[in-house]
């Protein structure tokens, strides 16, 4: 998956949960990534965040940090 596509997908998820209180929203994004993103995709976004996570919605960035 291209980084651009990955960031866009993660931000879409974040925008849905952004309507909720911060903690609930971060938990929602984390749960979604964990339940629906395959291992390689999770690894890719974790690496991306480790390298700065440019362009990622703040909720997505926080959520990724909570992935195992």
Partner 1 sequence: MALMHEIDFGTPLPIAGTFVTLEIDGKKVTVPVGTSIMRAAVNAGVQVPKLCATDNLEAFGSCRLCLVEIEGRPGTPASCTTPVATGMKVRTQSAKLARMRRGMMELYISDHPLDCLTCAANGNCELQDMAGVVGLRAVRYGYDGENHFKNAEKDESNPYFTFDPGKCILCSRCVRACEEVQGTFALTIDGRGFASKVSAGGEQFLDSECVSCGACVQACPTATLIEKTVIAQGQGEHSIVTTCAYCGVGCSFKAEMQGEEVVRMLPYKDGKANHGHSCVKGRFAWGYTTHRDRILKPMVRAKITDPWREVTWHEAISYAASEFKRIQAKYGPDSVGGITSSRCTNEETFLVQKMVRAAFGNNNVDTCARVCHSPTGYGLKNTLGTSAGTQDFDSVEAADVIMIIGANPTDAHPVFASQMKRRLREGARLIVLDPRRIDLVKSPHVKADYHLPLLPGTNVAMINALAHVVVTEGLVKEDFVKERCDLVAFEQWRKFIAEERNSPEAMEHITGVPAADVRAAARLYATGGNSAIYYGLGVTEHSQGSTMVMGMANLAMATGNFGRRGVGVNPLRGQNNVQGSCDMGSFPHEFSGYRHVSEDAVREVFEEAWHVALRGDPGLRISNMFDAAIDGTFKALYIQGEDLVQSDPNTQHVAAALGAMECIVVQDLFLNESASFAHVFLPGSSFLEKDGTFTNAERRISRVRKAIAPMAGLADWEITMKLSEALGYPMNYSHPSEIMAEIARLTPTFAGVTYEKIDELGSVQWPCNDKAPEGTPIMHVNGFVRGKGRFLITEFVPTDERSTERFPLILTTGRILTQYNVGAQTSRTANGVWHNEDVLDIHPFDAENRGIRDGELVSLASREGEITLPARISERMQPGVVYTTFHHAMTGANVVTTEFSDWATSCPEYKVTAVQVRPAKHQSAWQEHYRETRRQTTQILGEPSPTNLPRT
Binding site for partner 1 (CB under 8 A): 1-2, 5, 8-9, 12-13, 15-16, 18-20, 32, 34-41
Q: Which lies closer to partner 1 via its Cβ, residue 24 or residue 54?
A: 24
Rounded to a whole number of angstroms, the minimum distance from the CB of residue 35 to partner 1 is 6
Contact 14, 29 (CB under 8 A): yes
CB of 34 to partner 1, least distance (A): 8
Of the two residues 23 and 38, which places its CB atom closer to partner 1 in the complex? Answer: 38
Residue placing its CB nearer to partner 1 in the complex, 15 or 50: 15
Note whether 33 and 63 are within 8 A (CB).
yes
Instruction: Report CA 5 to chain centroid distance, whole Å.
Output: 12
Distance CA 9, CA 38 (A): 13
């Amino acid at each position: 998956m291209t980084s651009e596509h990955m960031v866009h997908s993660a931000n879409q998820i974040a925008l849905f949960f952004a309507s909720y209180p911060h903690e609930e929203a971060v938990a929602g994004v984390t749960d979604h990534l964990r339940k629906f993103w395959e291992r390689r995709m999770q690894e890719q976004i974790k690496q991306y965040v480790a390298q700065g996570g440019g362009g990622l919605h703040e909720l997505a960035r926080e959520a990724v940090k909570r992935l195992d």
